[in-house]
Structure 1
């Protein structure tokens, strides 16, 4: 029986398309005089933001740009500077804009009604999460436990440390009673490393990388193609289950629970 669901945040339950961090990364690098592409940012989406900055700076194209602008390769001080710019930009954005993705509130209410506990992990810092959590709570979405990498000595995804903290605090021993839902490759890796059931969400995901308006403008054939591309990525990562959107979650849980009852019966 599913007793606990662990959600990601941006791209999963809030921020359709996980656009806020992409915008913040671009602004931070722009202010440093460096052009970074959306596709380059999304490669490592979901990991701790300090680690993410380091990954971007290590990309050959970005390193070459940095060398052209500053006549040297980026240093740790440069990483600190870009990280500071990123934090400033993202926090300013989060203060004015936090929206739940379609179906999230209904799914949360279903989980609450069925006494399924809700927790979250994230690539956001504690400061960022405090803003998002408070804004989401005003919209009716209030997970019982919010864990960041700062709660586990900086061990961000794909480390299972954040999930293990939740398992410990909830006194969970049966890993197959826990479901981790996310919109990135590292969400699935995090869940698999923790030994829990992993679920990839397609629409509004960072992997798809489209805003809600952009997705809605697609033809039905284009939507099918986009969903198929994201589904294939999740399948290649070994996701246990894949849903198109949050409205499908209750049925997925009901099916899992029913199959377990049959097996145990």
Structure 2
């Protein structure tokens, strides 16, 4: 039987489209005179933010812009300065964008009703998560365990360290009894590296990159096309399952429980 579900935060349970970090990254880099596209940011979304900034600074276009502006490539001090700006910007925007996605409370209540433990992993720091966690709690979403890379010696995604930490805390030895749910490829990598079942969320995901309003304005045909694009990306990362919305997770849990019953 499934004993625990581990959710991501932005784009999975809160912040439809994972907008807050994108806005904060753009603002922090713009403060340094560098323009970023959404694609620049989203390709490594889900990583610990210090690592993510490092990845962005390695992009060819970013290095080109930096060289043109400063006549040299960015160094570790530059990275620290951008990270500090990013933290300040993100904490500001988190207060605005921490709204639960549709279906989160229904799914959370289902999990509680059936005694399935709920934990989370994230690319956010503990300071960032304090803002998100408090706001989510006001809205009724209260996971039992909220883990950041700071709890595991800085080992962020795609390392399995946060998931293994949660399993130890929950006294779960069998990874087949755990599901990791996320909206980025890094979420799936994290779950695969830990040996747990993985589920990708399509709608409201960072991979789709649309706000709720933008998605709702699409025609039915366009919505199907965008879901299928995201589904292919998750499948290419070897996700075990891909669902449209978080409430579809209930069907996955029931399917896995039934399969395990038959096995035994």
- Decide: shared fold, TM above 0.5: yes
Pick the TM interval, shorter chain: over 0.9
Give distance in 2, aligned partners of 1:97 and 1:12.
13
- Secondary structure, aligned partner of 1:30: helix
Deviation of the 1:29 alpha carbon? 0.6
Deviation of the 1:250 alpha carbon? 1.2
Give distance in 1, aligned partners of 2:173 and 2:161.
15
Q: Corresponding residue for 2:153? A: 153
Deviation of the 1:90 alpha carbon? 0.3
Deviation of the 1:95 alpha carbon? 2.4
- Secondary structure, aligned partner of 2:68: helix
Q: Deviations over 1:12-42 (max 9, x none)?
A: 0000000000000000011111101111000
How many residue pairs end up in the alignment? 264
Q: Corresponding residue for 2:54? A: 54
Q: Do 2:19 and 2:97's aligned partners in 1 also have CA atoms closer than 8 Å?
A: no
Computed over aligned residues only, the root mean square deviation of the Cα atoms, in angstroms, reads 0.7
Give distance in 1, aligned partners of 2:250 and 2:78.
46
Provide the TM-score with structure 1 as the length reference: 0.98
Deviation of the 1:71 alpha carbon? 1.0
Give distance in 2, aligned partners of 1:251 and 1:83.
40
Deviation of the 1:259 alpha carbon? 2.2
Give distance in 2, aligned partners of 1:46 and 1:96.
20
- Secondary structure, aligned partner of 2:124: coil
Deviation of the 1:263 alpha carbon? 2.8
Q: Corresponding residue for 1:135? A: 135
Give distance in 2, aligned partners of 1:260 and 1:75.
51
Deviation of the 1:252 alpha carbon? 1.6
Instruction: Map 1:5-44 onto structure 2 (within 5 A).
Output: 5-44=5-44
Give distance in 2, aligned partners of 1:174 and 1:157.
21
Give distance in 1, aligned partners of 2:155 and 2:80.
18
Q: Deviations over 1:138-159 (max 9, x none)?
A: 1000000000001111110000
1:88 correspondence with 2:88 = yes
Q: Corresponding residue for 1:228? A: 228
Q: Corresponding residue for 2:77? A: 77
Instruction: Map 1:95-174 onto structure 2 (within 5 A).
Output: 95-174=95-174
Q: Corresponding residue for 1:242? A: 242
Q: Deviations over 1:32-64 (max 9, x none)?
A: 111011110001000000001110011110001
Q: What residue ranges of structure 2 are gaps of 5+ in the alignment? A: none
117-126 or 166-175, larger mean C-alpha shift: 166-175
- Secondary structure, aligned partner of 2:62: helix
Q: Do 2:15 and 2:98's aligned partners in 1 also have CA atoms closer than 8 Å?
A: yes
Give distance in 2, aligned partners of 1:165 and 1:252.
24
Give distance in 1, aligned partners of 2:9 and 2:153.
20
- Secondary structure, aligned partner of 1:6: strand
Q: Corresponding residue for 1:260? A: 260
Give distance in 1, aligned partners of 2:96 and 2:44.
25
Structure 1 stretches of at least 4 aligned residues deviating more than 3 Å after TM superposition: none
- Secondary structure, aligned partner of 1:242: strand
Q: Corresponding residue for 2:177? A: 177
Give distance in 1, aligned partners of 2:229 and 2:203.
11
Q: Corresponding residue for 1:2? A: 2
Q: What residue ranges of structure 1 are gaps of 5+ in the alignment? A: none
Give distance in 1, aligned partners of 2:246 and 2:58.
35
